[in-house]
């Protein structure tokens, strides 16, 4: 697969297990996350980079990394899939990941078939992203765990709606980019 995987997390425990699992999934490169600058360089070599986040005791500690990726000026990094690997199907954890702009949350069991199916969903299909002052990520309004406040749900104020397709040969393609503003009242 012409995609790289960055593993975000400790180099032991869940991070080491995720690193081993990612190596068995046929990524062209599997690397520990070393910052956005490193990811930008890798994105020039492999058209798509996945960011695989290992389970942590408090998912909120991942906000800084998720925001650095989501608000990166490089399109290839900014629109990269962010996937959290959770040890339990906690609604709180899933909700927090959604609110940070994650593309997917995968819970145990982590079988090769299941992981490849979820990773494959990120490639070659249209994905809708929204950008507001406090959020950038996939459209999650149809989720039970989706944000409920107006500023987070894109029903209040100005926002951008982007349609993207990730392609393993050409990278990230923005198919549509629309700016919406609330009517002046």
Q: What does the pLDDT look like over 63-80, one tens digit per residue?
A: 999 999 999 999 999 999
pLDDT band at residue 156 using 50, 70 and 90 as cut-offs: low
Residue 151 has a pLDDT of 44
Polymer length in residues for the chain: 185
Average pLDDT over residues 137-152: 60
Q: Where are the alpha helices (DSSP H) in the chain?
A: 14-23, 36-45, 63-70, 75-78, 91-99, 112-120
Residue 142 has a pLDDT of 62
pTM, rounded to two decimals: 0.90
Q: Which of 121, 129, 124 is nearest to 163 (CA)?
A: 129
pLDDT digits (tens, 9 = 90+) for 46-64: 999 999 999 999 999 999 9
pLDDT digits (tens, 9 = 90+) for 82-130: 999 999 899 999 999 999 999 999 999 999 999 999 999 999 999 999 9
């Amino acid at each position: 697969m012409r995609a790289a995987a960055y593993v975000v997390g400790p180099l032991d425990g869940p991070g080491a297990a995720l690193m081993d699992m990612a190596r068995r999934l046929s990524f062209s490169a599997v690397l520990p996350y070393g910052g956005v600058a490193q990811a930008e360089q890798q994105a020039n070599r492999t058209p798509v980079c996945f960011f695989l986040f290992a389970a942590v005791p408090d998912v909120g500690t991942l906000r800084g990394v998720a925001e650095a990726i989501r608000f990166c000026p490089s399109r290839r990094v900014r629109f990269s899939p962010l996937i959290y690997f959770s040890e339990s199907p906690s609604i709180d954890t899933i909700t927090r990941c959604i609110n940070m702009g994650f593309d997917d949350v995968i819970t145990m069991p982590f079988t090769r078939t299941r992981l490849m199916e979820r990773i494959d969903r990120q490639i070659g299909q249209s994905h809708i992203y929204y950008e507001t002052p406090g959020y950038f990520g996939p459209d999650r309004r149809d989720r039970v765990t989706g944000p409920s406040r107006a500023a987070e749900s894109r029903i209040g104020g100005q926002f951008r709606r982007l349609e993207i397709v990730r392609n393993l040969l050409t990278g990230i393609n923005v198919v549509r980019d629309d700016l919406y503003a609330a009517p002046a009242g």
